[in-house]
Structure formats: structure tokens, C-alpha cells
Structure 1
Amino acid sequence: MDTSAPLNFEDPVYLLVFQHVPVERTAQLIADVTGAAVSTGWVASLLPEAESLVADSVNLIRALLVMGHILHADETTTRIGATRRWLHVACTEFLTLLHLAPRSRAGADMGGVLPHYRGVLVHDSLSLYAGYAACTHQLCGAHLIRELTAAEEDFPDQKWHQQIRWALAGLNKHATRVRNAEITEIAPDALLLHLEAFHQGIKVGLSKHPRAEGRKQSTARNLLERLRDQAHDVLRYADDPRHVPFTNNSGERALRPVKTQLKISGCHQSEHGARAWLTVRSYLDSARKHGISAFEAIHRAFTGNLWMPPIEQTA
């Protein structure tokens, strides 16, 4: 390796994990900019080294997520070679933890957060999350709004979907005003108006879409039954508007870098490499949520000054 110009070990890791530059292009970029002729094998070897260096920080991130009042959980697909794999995230406003595992309750458990969590878990309606009975739940309102909009497209002559969507969106407007300190609480008359519209819309919808024989039901019927049977989990944001969010946007945002990685760099070539990338990305995203730049966070890991999340911030 020609070291005619200074080269820091954190530079390739920054390019690989935060800028989504593939290994081959990272090696070429380093050669072009610094004059150091590095091998792709050397570049790739830095990722597991970085994973080891940030391990203590990520372990604390995991512990703090368990202690949080609000937790967002989500999942998406990624690829390792030609194989589709599932990726899970658990995150808050301040912390992110990504892990590779099957799309199952056991897979979600592997992150080490959800089995021990006791706060409010914000998620979509995927059935695996329902098994976490020790915590309370908030179903993502944005997902429900999209499902209601799809129902309107399927049944334009019916009105129940519009009424339920109006109730959910209206309550969210009031809840947002509470979080922004514009009002101290959702006014009782406004709360009653929207709750009555919500429950009445479900009642009308169920009458329009009666249960079919057998276990398989229509999409509309399944949506309506979920809204009816999990009403407390749908409306929790209105019960605690200061703290409980309406959507799972935080979880979805935490997964976007993975999709960006696939688009720019392509799939990971090994499970070990994918796990290392996700661990380092968890560290970087958490540090950035605390105002630490990605490059500074990596630099600190490689120079013995590892960034650690503050213990007092667990929400």
C-alpha cells in the first residue's frame, strides 16, 4: 500500500456505511484522492473492525431502548447475494438499532429489545408485534389512513371509510396542537365528536361488509375488525397526545438508509458483512441524533474516544 498521502482508517468506513460507496469504488476513490493504492480486501476488513470498536456503544443503545417510554419498531427487506433477507429496527427520537433476522417474532426478539420492553410500542399492524403483551401498543395512523383510502377507492359509493379517516386525522390535528403547546389538552367536546364518528363509521362499515363463511375475510372486513377490536391501540395517541405519536414515521425513516444502500451499492455479499454494516450504521444514526456528525463519530471510534449515548435520554 502506497502511503504517499495520509490515510485514516475511518475514511473508508465513512464512505462504506454513511455515503453508501461500494468497496471497489471506495478503494479507487482513496487511490485517486490520497495516492494510497489500497486493496478491496483491506477496505472490506475495516468494516468488521469498526463493528468491534462500536460494540460498547451499541450495547448501551440497546439497553436504553428497552428503558424508553416510546419505541418505534419496523421491518423491511434487504438482500445478501441473491437471497432476500429481513431487517428489523427499534428506535426512538434519540437512538437507532438495526438488526438482521427472519420476519417473525423470534426474529424480532433477536434484536434484544422487544422481549424486555414495557413502554408504548409504535408499529404497523404486523401480527408478530401483537405477541408483545408486556407493553402497550400504538398502531401507525399513517398505515391506517392509507388502508382507508384504498377502501374508498374500492367502495366509492360508501362513506364509512371517509368518516373513520376524518376522525383519525382530526384527532391527530388536536394531538399535534397539544404537543406543540398550543393547547393543554384535546377539548372534551372535540374528543367526543371524533370518537363517536370513529366508532359509528366502524359500525356502518361492518354492516356493509358482513363476515363471510370460513376463516378468510375481505380486506375491508379485516380492516374494520382490526379497528374495532384494537380501538385502544389505534387511539392511544389521543389518550396521551403529549407523548404518543400518531405515526411510525421514525421507524420508517430509520430504514431508509438500507434502501439507499441497496440502490447505490447493491446487496451485501455476506451475512457477516451485512451485520457489521448494520451495527456501525446503528451507532452512526444514534450519534447523529445527538448532533454528532457521522465522520466525527467514526473518528472517535477509531481513536479511542468512542461516542456513548447519554444515559439520561431514554425517551
Structure 2
Amino acid sequence: MTHSSDLADKDALIAALIARNEVLVAEVTRLAARVAELEAKLGLPPKTPDNSSTPPSKGRKPSRAGASKAKAKPHAGSHRALHPNPTNKCDVFASSCRCCGADVSGASQFVCEAYDRIEIPEVAPDVTRVSLFGGVCPCCTTRFKAEPPAGLEPGSPFGPNLRAFVIYLRSVQGIPLARLRDAMSDLFGLDISEGALVNILAASTEPFSAAVAMIKDRLLAGTAIASDETGLRVGNANWWLWVFHHGDSAVFIADRHRSKAVVEGFLGEVRPDYWISDRYGGQMGWAKRDHQVCLAHLIRDVQYAIDAGDTVLAPAVKGLLKRACAIGRRRPDLTDGTLKTYEADLDRRLDRIMALQPTHPAGEKLHRIIKKTRRSLFVFIQNRQISATNNGSERALRPCAVYRKITNGFRSEWGAALYADIRSVVETARRRAVRAIDAIRLTLCGEPIQIPS
């Protein structure tokens, strides 16, 4: 019996060793394939902001000489422009001649020099103490109390202008709450807690949500929309901040997903005629007529193919795309017929380029990209409301990226949603030539941002 038990244990040990060996062989095979893949990539150029979608903040700039350039000669007569509506005026008349000392107070005089002296007065809180009087009615012996004046009702002690300043400094200038508390004390002489600042922000959720609804309605009523997204940190999770814009309207949305569901939730049943974005899959397929891909992104990808060693297809494609962008910049000076001719010429040039046979894997990959997106390359040529690049979305998201670096994100979901609404109002106001602080004041009062005529 003991001999049979030993044999069984030996067989079990051998089986376990064989199984373990199979696992090790599979792991070695996987690692060998990974090594081969990495060795194949050793000859590829690094991805930089110039040849890929790598953000500029992750690029390394070369060191240059520290010697500064010579100061340029200023333009003749260059000076600060005088204020169009000065608060006060001080007219000073000469009383005596500087040359001979004669009395000139009665002589005719004209303005020889005019300049502004600018100063900010000391800022102090304007505090109104409201005392509601009351007593006992001599007729019915019930207690009575005076009604508070309009705008001075009981509740939060902070007025709308103070709330606007808090929202502006926090959400536009990106001042953290602790520093904002100190700034309110140092600049305005107002002692306010961080909790009160949070309450001010939370109380502005409803008016900003209502303002964004009006902006969204105007945006969806148009024929074109441009869109992009960037990362956002909310709590302990990675979120995304989306922007949808065109013309004088822009809407930001904070969402935990980077999928088509976000775009579908924003659009609902609406489908614009034209859509401008990069080639990310979540941004594709939303236009009823045509989709314009960002040529700036594509040119960077083409540059990477050139850096990787493609000398046939990529240089020709880069030249064609840069020519198309140059035509787009000249559109205001060109007629519709000329633009139609230019588009036909670009198509013919692209036909000849696509007939080339790439000799490098990077060129073959680029050939597949161009073939897939060919219909979306030159939509902007004849459509003057469409841009060749998605640079408008990049500019709209840039303040958000700066805010993300300053604050490291949001602790709560409602804070991220409120920030997206505030950015929608501020960016829309910028496009409509309205100052950010004025747009915030209008929103808190429930008034829409004026639309340019």
C-alpha cells in the first residue's frame, strides 16, 4: 500500500511540474513577442507635440542661448490710449509764461497735453443693517412685524455683486478656496469662511443651469457644431470635459465617460448638418451632411510618418493639406466659383498622391487613414462657416486645462457640473463681446447674455 501511495504522489508531482512548465513556456513566448515588438519600435521616432496629439506641456523644448534680443525701437507716438469715459476731469490753465513770467491768465489757451492718472479707490464692504420693527396690534392684539424691502430679504447676507466676484475669482481665475478667503479679506476687507464660499457656489447652480439651457437651444438651432474633449479629475475618478460650440455659443459638459453616449445625450434627436472634430471615434457619425476632420491633427500625424522614414506619400500629403489650409485662410477674399475650382484642384491632386505606392509601413498606415477620411478633408473649402481645423475647440478648452493644473480637479460631482456651466456662460460671453464678470452678474439675476445683432 505504501508503495502504491508513493507512486501516486510521484505521478501527481510530475503532472504538476508539467503544468507549471506549460505555464512558463507560455509566459516566455509572450515575453519574447513583447521584446520583438519593443525592438521593432526602437527605430521609430519619439512622439512629440509637433508630430502627434501629445499636448505641448509634455514636450521638451531645446535649450537656447540666454542672451536676450536688443530692445525693438517703439513706434513713433506709441502710448497708452486715453480712457474714453474718465471719472473726473482736471483742466489746468497756465497763469504765467515760463519764458518771461508775464501774466497769461486772460489769454486764449488750448489743450497742449492730456494724460490720465488711474487709481483704484480703497474697497470696503457696503454693509446695510436691516432692522424690522414690529409690536402688538392695538386693534386685534396680535403681533406684527414690518415686511423686508425688496432685495434685502432675510437669508444669506451676501449680495449678488459679491457672489459674482466669488464665482469669477474661483471659476475664471482659478483661485483655491483658502487663498480666495484670504484675497477677500486683503482686497475687500471682508471676513468670509471657506464654507460660506462653497455655499455661494452651490447656490448659483440653478441660475447657471438655466442660462446654459438657453445657450444650448441656440447652439442646436444652428447648422454646424464643433466638439472636443479633455481630461478632468473628479473625486478619485477620471472624468472628461466636453465642449460643443459654434459661432457665438458654447456648451461644456462634465461627464465620467468619453463615449458616443455623451454626444448622443447632448444632441438628443438633433443632428447638425456639419460636424467639426478630430478623428476620435466618439466624435464621428453625427453630421447629417458632412463631417470635417481637423487638418491640424492630421498634419501632425503626417509629420510623424515623415519622421518615421516615409519619403513618398507623407511629404506629398503634408504639402497638399497645408495648401488646403492656406486656401481656407484666404476664403474671405475669394468668390464661391473660385473656391469650387480650388476644391476640384485639391481632389485631383489627392488622386495623384493616393496613386503613389508607399515603401514604408508608416506610409502604408497613412494611406489607409487618408482613404478612410478622404470625404471629410475638404468640406470647409466651399462652406465658409466651417473651419479647416478644430482649433476653436482647443482654445475653448485651454482655460479648463489651466484650471485643472491649478486646482487638481474637483472633490464633488456637483462642483464639476457647476464649473462646466460657468465655463459655458463665460465662453459664450467672450464670443458675444461681454465681459466675464458682467456675464456672471447677468446670470445670477436671471437675465440672458445679449446676442450680437
TM-score, scaled to structure 1: 0.85
- Structure of greater relative contact order (alpha carbons < 8 Å, 6+ residues apart): 1
Do the aligned partners of residues 146 and 39 (structure 1) sit closer, same or farther apart at CA in structure 2, a change above 3 Å counting? same
Aligned to 1:9, the other structure's residue is in SS state: helix
1:214 alignment partner in structure 2: none
What amino acid does structure 2 have at the position aligned with 1:230?
A: T
SS of 2:240 mapped into structure 1: strand
Alpha-carbon offset, residue 188 of structure 1: 6.2
Deviation (angstroms), 1:249: 0.6
CA distance in 2, matches of 1:263, 1:296: 26
CA RMSD of aligned residues (A): 2.4
Flag structure 2 segments of 5+ consecutive residues without an equivalent: 1-123, 127-157
Asked if the contact 1:118–1:136 (Cα under 8 Å) also holds between the matched residues in 2, the reply is no
Aligned residue identity for 2:226: H
Mapped contact 1:124–1:143 kept (Cα < 8 A): yes
Q: Which residue of 2 aligns with 1:109?
A: 264
Q: 2:420: which partner in 1?
A: 278
Distance 2:436 2:198 in 1: 19
**Greater CA deviation, 32-41 or 47-56?**
47-56
Is 2:350 the counterpart of 1:198? yes
Measure how far apart 1:263 and its partner are.
1.7
Q: Confirm whether residue 230 of structure 1 aligns to residue 383 of structure 2.
A: no
CA distance in 2, matches of 1:220, 1:41: 58
Match for residue 306 of structure 1?
447
Amino acid at match of 1:165: K
Instruction: Map 1:10-29 to 2 at 5 A.
Output: 10-29=164-183
In structure 2, the residue corresponding to 1:125 is in which secondary structure?
A: coil
Identify, as 1 or 2, the structure richer in helix: 1
The 5 A counterparts of 1:1-315 are 5-6=125-126, 8-101=162-255, 102-110=257-265, 112-113=266-267, 116-132=270-286, 134-156=288-310, 158-178=311-331, 180-186=332-338, 190-205=342-357, 207-208=358-359, 220-238=363-381, 240-302=382-444, 304=445, 306-308=447-449, 310=451
Equivalent position amino acid for 2:448 in 1 = W
Stretch deviating more after TM superposition (87-96 or 44-53): 44-53
**Aligned letter for 1:306?**
E
Matched length: 296
* Distance in 1 between residues matched to 2:212 and 2:344, nearest whole Å: 44
Q: In 2, distance between residues paired with 1:261 and 1:92?
A: 23
| Secondary structure at 2:356 match in 1 | helix
Deviation at 1:307, TM superposition (A): 2.6
Q: In structure 2, how many angstroms separate the alpha carbons of the residues matched to 1:39 and 1:229?
A: 56
Q: Partners of 1:149 and 1:185 in 2: how far apart?
A: 32
3-state SS of the aligned residue for 1:292?
coil
Deviation at 1:114, TM superposition (A): 6.8
Give the Cα–Cα distance (whole angstroms) in 2 for the partners of residues 272 and 5 of structure 1. Answer: 29
**1:133 Cα deviation after fit:** 5.3
Structure 2 match to 1:213: none
Q: Which amino acid aligns with 1:307?
A: P
User: CA contact under 8 A between 1:152 and 1:162: conserved in structure 2?
Assistant: yes
For residues 182-233 of structure 1, what are the alpha-carbon distances to aligned partners after superposition, in whole Å with 9 as ceiling and x for unaligned? Answer: 455436665444322223223325x536xxxxxxxx6654432231132111
When residues 195 and 259 of structure 1 are mapped into structure 2, their CA distance, relative to the original with a 3 A threshold, is same
Q: Name the amino acid aligned to 1:282.
A: S
CA distance in 2, matches of 1:193, 1:46: 58
| TM-score of the aligned structures, taking structure 2 as reference length | 0.61
Report the more deviating stretch, 194-203 or 244-253: 194-203
Where in structure 1 do 4 or more consecutive aligned residues deviate above 6 Å?
none
Q: Tell me if the contact between 2:312 and 2:359 (Cα under 8 Å) persists in the aligned partners.
A: no
Per-residue CA deviations over 1:227-273 (Å, capped at 9, x if unaligned) read 113211112112x2422210001111111111110122221111110
Decide whether aligned partners of structure 1 residues 48 and 113 sit closer, same or farther in structure 2, where only a CA change above 3 A counts: farther
Answer with 127-136 or 29-38: which moved more. Answer: 127-136
Amino acid at match of 1:198: L
- Contiguous gaps of at least 5 residues in structure 1: 210-217
The alpha-carbon deviation at position 96 of structure 1 amounts to 1.1
Larger radius of gyration: 2
In structure 2, distance between residues paired with 1:44 and 1:169: 48
The change in CA–CA distance for 1:292 and 1:5 in structure 2 (over 3 A counts) is same
Structure 1 residues 57, 125: closer, same or farther in 2, change over 3 A? same
Partners in 1 of 2:337 and 2:323 — Cα distance? 14
Q: Name the CA distance, whole Å, in 2 between partners of 1:265 and 1:296.
A: 24
Give distance in 2, aligned partners of 1:230 and 1:280: 35
Give me the whole-angstrom Cα distance separating, in 2, the residues matched to 1:12 and 1:220: 53
Q: 1:31 and 1:271 mapped to 2: Cα distance?
A: 28
SS in 2 for 1:291: coil
